[in-house]
């Protein structure tokens, strides 16, 4: 029998091996979205399926249970807050979940979602939901099977949500979304009734893409993304792929008439990337060295995109540089004009382009519909109609096409049911983290001067470097002194901002 320390070291060696395999899969996923020719989808499905089953085989190796038993209760994990104890806690959860999933299901999911992503791209381009429908039906069937295999107490959605936000249930999300929606809908109405509007046409001008890319890369580097360990490319749907230490890849998409679409997308993905780049690289492969949860991950992107990137201090520094980047384009626009334009509240169809007041309604819509599809209460064939009806009720807008409706997001095509609520959790966590970090001496003055290091350092110390040593609720408590408080977003942040532009509070 190995000593507890030797058993722990063996566990970490095995974890690192399958983490490396997962990083290979991440490279293939990035390539599929950015470089792969359409004809490669079939082979890519086989490649990703092979890697997924290789990882699964290692996770269900019976030797893991023996090694975990050797470590459990030993002096190696005597301190429940140690990295080692977190490793064993997270690894036990991972191994137990993997053991419940048949190898055949893992392989089939990898193949089906690879084909689904390619079908989604083509369906979105053609505005043809029928092209994607059979793929979504197949994915849902497999995700129901996954939920049943993993097991749940409340409803199937819980088993899938737990993969992204450990310990959170659909009922927990309901307790957040129900009051949040009830507060946001009248707030958005009050904004509309205020009669105040930003100057028209500020954001609809000629913004050459090559200049957009340079300006966005400069901003991402300024806030802390290291391009010596990362890159920026284009894709149909913006994303960040943290492949491993020294390799983090961002994507965005450009609109030559509106710089804000790509720019805030880059800030968003750079926020994810900075988190990935500041995880404890010396522990790479250990379960505790991974990101805490997707809600916490999203908090980092939303913080930089919105709560910093749409703020006065940020544009005090960057507005003169924006004018220089696009000579003559913004000569008639003041910084305050721009601030109002980029913070305008206007219900719109596309989630990734939504303003901060309406964004969470987009998530509530998706949460409601994917729950219904998972239980079978909503047939995939009826998804476009259900989407359009619910969108009209929430936003007062008639959806003109499916690529501006139920086809706009990539998530369901890669099997990401249960993923969407983490976006709203991220918004809420971000406001709370920003509030705590604002107590740093002169932090806004530093940002206005172009010095983002104090804020980035605070995030690194309190969020990034802690990895998955603590679960999300505990991480939030340690960083801010409180558990998750949605009012930090709605009252302390959003209402205060909107009162400036719209006079509502």
Closest C-alpha among 326, 323, 350 to residue 337:
323
Catalytic residue among 107, 165, 261, 269: 269
Separation between Cα atoms, residue 101 and residue 104, nearest integer Å: 8
| CB contact at 8 A, 306 and 339 | no
Angle at 67 between CA 62 and CA 69, to 5 degrees: 100
- In sequence order, what are the residues at sequence separation of 6 or more whose Cβ sits closer than 8 angstroms to the Cβ of residue 420? 363, 366, 367, 370, 411
Closest C-alpha among 108, 327, 122, 300 to residue 211:
327
Bridge-based pairing of strands 247-252 and 230-234 is parallel
For 182, the 3-state DSSP assignment is: helix
Neighbours of 188 (CB within 10 A): 22
Bridge-based pairing of strands 240-244 and 247-252 is antiparallel
Separation between Cα atoms, residue 426 and residue 387, nearest integer Å: 23
For 252, the 3-state DSSP assignment is: strand
Closest C-alpha among 420, 416, 376, 383 to residue 402:
383
4-7, long-range: CB < 8 A, 24+ apart = 4/70, 4/71, 4/74, 4/75, 4/76, 5/76, 7/67, 7/68, 7/70, 7/71
Separation between Cα atoms, residue 47 and residue 57, nearest integer Å: 16
Neighbours of 460 (CB within 10 A): 18
Q: Note if 496 is an active site residue.
A: no
Separation between Cα atoms, residue 177 and residue 341, nearest integer Å: 27
What residues act catalytically? 269
């Amino acid at each position: 029998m190995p000593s507890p320390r030797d058993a722990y070291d063996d566990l970490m060696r095995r974890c690192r091996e399958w983490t490396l395999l997962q990083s290979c899969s991440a490279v293939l996923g990035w390539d599929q979205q950015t470089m792969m020719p359409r004809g490669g989808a079939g082979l890519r499905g086989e490649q990703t399926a092979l890697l997924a089953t290789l990882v699964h085989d290692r996770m269900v190796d019976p030797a893991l249970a023996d090694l975990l038993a050797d470590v459990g209760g030993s002096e190696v994990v005597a301190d429940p807050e140690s990295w080692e104890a977190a490793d064993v806690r997270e690894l036990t959860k991972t191994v137990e979940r993997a053991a419940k999933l048949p190898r055949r299901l893992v392989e089939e999911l990898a193949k089906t979602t690879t084909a689904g992503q390619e079908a989604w791209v083509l369906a979105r381009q053609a505005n043809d939901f029928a092209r994607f429908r059979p793929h979504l039906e197949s994915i849902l069937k497999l995700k129901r099977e996954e939920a049943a295999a993993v097991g749940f107490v409340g409803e199937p959605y819980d088993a899938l949500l737990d993969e992204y936000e450990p310990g959170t249930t659909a009922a927990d999300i309901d307790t957040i979304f129900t009051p949040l929606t009830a507060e946001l809908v009248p707030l958005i109405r009050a904004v509309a009734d205020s009669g105040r509007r930003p100057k028209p046409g500020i954001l609809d001008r000629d913004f050459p893409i090559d200049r957009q890319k340079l300006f966005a890369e400069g901003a991402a580097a300024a806030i802390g993304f290291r391009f010596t360990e990362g890159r920026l490319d284009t894709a149909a749907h913006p994303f960040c792929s943290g492949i491993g230490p020294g390799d983090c890849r961002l994507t965005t998409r450009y609109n030559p008439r509106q710089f804000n679409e790509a720019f805030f997308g880059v800030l968003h993905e750079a926020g994810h990337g900075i988190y990935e780049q500041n995880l404890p690289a010396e522990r790479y492969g250990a379960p505790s060295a991974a990101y805490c949860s997707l809600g916490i991950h999203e908090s980092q992107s939303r913080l930089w995109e919105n709560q910093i990137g749409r703020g006065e201090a940020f544009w005090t520094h960057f507005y003169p540089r924006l004018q220089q980047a696009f000579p003559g384009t913004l000569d008639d626009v003041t910084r305050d004009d721009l601030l109002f334009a980029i913070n305008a509240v206007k219900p719109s169809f596309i989630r990734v382009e939504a303003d901060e007041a309406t964004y969470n309604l987009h998530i509530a819509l998706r949460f409601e519909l994917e729950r219904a599809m998972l239980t079978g209460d909503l047939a995939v064939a009826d998804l476009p109609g259900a989407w359009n009806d619910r969108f009209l009720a929430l936003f007062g807008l008639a959806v003109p096409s499916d690529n501006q409706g139920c086809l706009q997001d990539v998530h369901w095509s890669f099997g990401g049911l249960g993923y969407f609520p983490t976006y709203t959790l991220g918004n809420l966590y971000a406001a709370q983290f920003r509030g705590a970090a604002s107590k740093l001496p002169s932090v806004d003055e530093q940002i206005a001067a172009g010095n983002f290091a104090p804020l980035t350092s605070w995030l690194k110390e309190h969020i990034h470097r802690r990895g998955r040593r603590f679960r999300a609720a505990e991480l939030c408590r340690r960083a801010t002194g409180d558990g998750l408080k949605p009012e930090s977003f709605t009252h302390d942040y959003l209402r205060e901002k909107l009162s400036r532009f719209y006079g509502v509070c």
